Structure 1
Amino acid sequence: MREHDSATAVLRNSGSSGTVFAGLGVLAFSFTFPATDWALDGGHGLGPWTVTGVRGVLAALIALACLRAGRVPVPARRHWRGLFAVALGCVVSFPLLSTLALQTSSSAHSAVVIGLLPLATAAASAGLNRTRLSPWFWAAALAGALVVVVFALGQNHGRPTTADLFLLGALLVCSLGYAEGGRLAREMPGWQVIGWAAVAALPVTAVTAGAGLAAEPVRLTAHAVTGLAYLSAVSQFGGFVVWYRGMAAIGVPRASQLQLAQPSLTLLWSVLLLGEHLPVSAPVAAALVLACIATTQRVGRGGTAGRVGGGDRVSTGGPAMSHRGRPD
C-alpha cells in the first residue's frame, strides 16, 4: 500500500511540475506575435522572409552550442521523421505564415490561430497515437476554442481577411509539429527535440534568410532588433524547451489546453507593448477560457483520456508507473 501511495505521489508531483513547465511555455509564446510585430516594425524594420530565416538560423546556432556543450549524441534514426515534422511545422512554416499574416493583421486579431491551436493539437495527437479521448474533454476543448475564435474574429466584425488564410495554414502545420514534439519529448529531453529540429531546418532557414536579406530592406531599428532577438532565443528555442518538457509530463492533450489562455495574454501584451485597443469583452472571454482550461485539466486527471487498441490505458505523459512505483 505504501508503494502504491508512493507511486501516486510521484505521478502527482510529475503532473504538477509538468503543468508549471507547460504554463511557462504558454507565457513565452504569448509574446511571439507582439515580438514579430516589433521585428516588422510596421514595415520600417525587417521583411517577413528575413525575420523567418534569421530567427531560424540564430535559434539553430543557439541549439548547436547547447547540444555541443552537453555532448548530446545524434538522435537515433527512428527519431528523425518526427524531428523533421517539428522542423517543418514549428521552425519554418508557422513562423513564416504567421509573420506574413502580421503584415496586414493586428497582433490581437492574429491570436485567433492560438485559439484554435489547442484543439488542433489535441486532434493531431489523438490521430497520430490512435487515442480515443473523453467526450467531455472534447466538449470543454471545443467550447474554449469557440470562445477564443468568436472573441478574436469580433475584432474584425467577423469578416475573414487574407491574413486568416495564412493563419489557418500556420495552425495546421504547427499542430502537427506540437503533437510530434510532445511525442518525441517522452523519449528524449524537450530541449533536445527543439534543438535538433532547429538544426534540421538550418539548410532551409539559411536559404530563406539569404533570400530575404537580398530582396527585402533591412532597417535595424531598436524594435526590430529586440523583436528578432526574442523570436530567436525564446519563441524559437527557449519556450519550446519548457513547453515540450511540460507536454512530456502531462500529455499533449492536457498541455495543449493550457494554451487556451495564450490569446488573452497576447491581447494584454498587444495593449501594453503595441498600444492596440483592448475591447471591454476581453475579461469575460478570459474568464470563460480559464473555466474551459480547468474543465479539461480535471477530465485529464480523472483518467478519462480513453483507451487504445486492446484496452491499454492511455498515458497522460511521461513513463507509465508500475505498482512498485518504477517506470514500466
Structure 2
Amino acid sequence: MERTSPLPHPSTQKAASGWLNGFIGVLIFSGSLPATRVAVLEFDPLFLTVARASIAGVLALCLLLLFQEKRPSRSQLWPLAIVALGVVVGFPLLTALALQYVTSAHSIVFLGLLPLATAVFGVLRGGERPRPVFWLFSVLGSLLVVGFAVSQGLSAAPAGDILMLLAILVCGLGYAEGAKLSRTLGGWQVISWALVLALPVMMVLTLFRAPPSFSGITLPAWLSLAYVALFSMLIGFVFWYRGLAQGGIAAVGQLQLLQPFFGLALAATLLHEQVSLGMLGVTLAVILCVAGARKFSK
C-alpha cells in the first residue's frame, strides 16, 4: 500500500500564510522612506502627505464599495481615528518633514525602534506586565539610537531626528491600535476604513496645497508619489494586517526587525547614499535589543 504524507495542520498553514503576508508587507514598507526621500525633493511635504492619503483613500473606498463591506460600529470609530492619525497622517507627514533634514539611510536606523514602540503601546493598551529584562533591552536600544544620532552630528540637524522619533511613536500607536482592531473588523478593512475616514479632509488639503504648476516635476518624483500612495499607504497594509491576523501580532510583528536592513539596501542601491559600517552596526544592535525586548514582553 502506498504511504501518503500527512497533510499540514490547518493552524500551521494559517501561521505560515501569516508569516508570508507579513514578510511581503515589510518588503513593501521598506521602500517607503527612500521613495519619500525622492518625492520631497520636488513635492512639498504636506502636499505629499495629503496627496498620497487621498489617492489611497479613493482606492480604499472603491474596494469597500466593491466588496460591500459592512460599516464600522460606533465603538470602532475612535480606534479607526487613532489608526488614521497614526499611519495615514502622522507617520507620513513627520517622515516627509524629517527627510528634508536627514538622508533616508539615516532615518531608516530609527525604524529599529518601531517594533519596540508597537510593543510598548500594545503593553499600555493590553495592561500587560513585562519582565524587568524587557525594559532593560528597551532602554539599551533607545540609548543606542540616541547615541548614534549624537555621533552623526545631532546639533547640525536636530529637527530631523526629533521628527523621526515622533514619527516612530505615532506609527507604533497606529500599528498597535490597528492590530487590535483587525481582530474584529478584519485586516485590510482596518486600513481601508481609516483612509476613508480621513479622505474628506485629505482631499480638501490636497487641493489647497497643490503647487501652481506640475510642469517641473520629474518622473522619479511622480513614481515615488505613486509608490507611497499605492503600496506604502494601502497595499502594504493589506498584507501587513492580514499577516498579523493570521500569524499573531506578537510573532509576525517581529518581521519589522528586518525593515531597517531592507531599507538601507534600497537607500544604497537606488539613491546611492552612503551606508557606513557604523550605521549597519547600530542597526544590528538595535534590532538585537528589540528582539530581546519582544522575547521578554510577557
Q: TM-score with structure 1 length normalisation?
A: 0.78
Q: 1:211 aligns with which of 205, 208, 212?
A: 208
Q: How well do the aligned residues superpose, as a CA RMSD in angstroms? A: 2.8
Aligned residues: 291
Partner of residue 174, structure 2: 177
Partner of residue 266, structure 1: 263
- In the alignment, is the contact (CA less than 8 A) between 2:30 and 2:263 conserved in 1? yes
2:183 is paired with a residue whose SS is: coil
- Decide whether aligned partners of structure 1 residues 216 and 146 sit closer, same or farther in structure 2, where only a CA change above 3 A counts: farther
Q: 1:126 aligns with which of 119, 123, 148?
A: 123
- Decide whether aligned partners of structure 1 residues 289 and 17 sit closer, same or farther in structure 2, where only a CA change above 3 A counts: farther
How much has 1:287 moved relative to structure 2? 5.0
Q: Distance in 2 between matches of 1:89 and 1:254?
A: 22
Identity over aligned pairs, percent: 38
Q: Distance in 2 between matches of 1:47 and 1:292?
A: 35
Matches within 5 A, 1:1-328: 9-41=9-41, 45-136=42-133, 139=136, 149=145, 153=149, 156-157=152-153, 159=155, 161-214=158-211, 219-285=216-282, 287-288=284-285, 291=288, 299=295, 306=298
How much has 1:144 moved relative to structure 2? 5.5
Deviations along 1:57-116, one digit per CA (max 9) or x if unpaired, are 000011111111111121122211111111111101111111011112110111243122
How much has 1:280 moved relative to structure 2? 2.3
Q: Distance in 2 between matches of 1:216 and 1:257?
A: 43
- In the alignment, is the contact (CA less than 8 A) between 1:113 and 1:170 conserved in 2? no
- In the alignment, is the contact (CA less than 8 A) between 1:36 and 1:99 conserved in 2? yes
Q: Distance in 2 between matches of 1:106 and 1:129?
A: 36
How much has 1:194 moved relative to structure 2? 0.3
- In the alignment, is the contact (CA less than 8 A) between 1:115 and 1:145 conserved in 2? no
Deviations along 1:272-296, one digit per CA (max 9) or x if unpaired, are 1111011123554565466557656
| Letter of the 1:56 counterpart | A
Stretch deviating more after TM superposition (212-221 or 80-89): 212-221
Q: Distance in 2 between matches of 1:218 and 1:100?
A: 23
Q: Distance in 1 between matches of 2:135 and 2:21?
A: 23
Deviations along 1:10-66, one digit per CA (max 9) or x if unpaired, are 44443333222222221111100111112123xxx2111111111000000111111
- Decide whether aligned partners of structure 1 residues 216 and 261 sit closer, same or farther in structure 2, where only a CA change above 3 A counts: farther
**RCO greater where, 1 or 2, for CA within 8 Å and sep 6 or more?**
2
How much has 1:197 moved relative to structure 2? 0.3
How much has 1:175 moved relative to structure 2? 1.2
Q: TM-score with structure 2 length normalisation?
A: 0.86
Unaligned 5+ segments in structure 1 are: 1-5, 307-328
Q: Distance in 1 between matches of 2:142 and 2:261?
A: 12
1:201 is paired with a residue whose SS is: helix
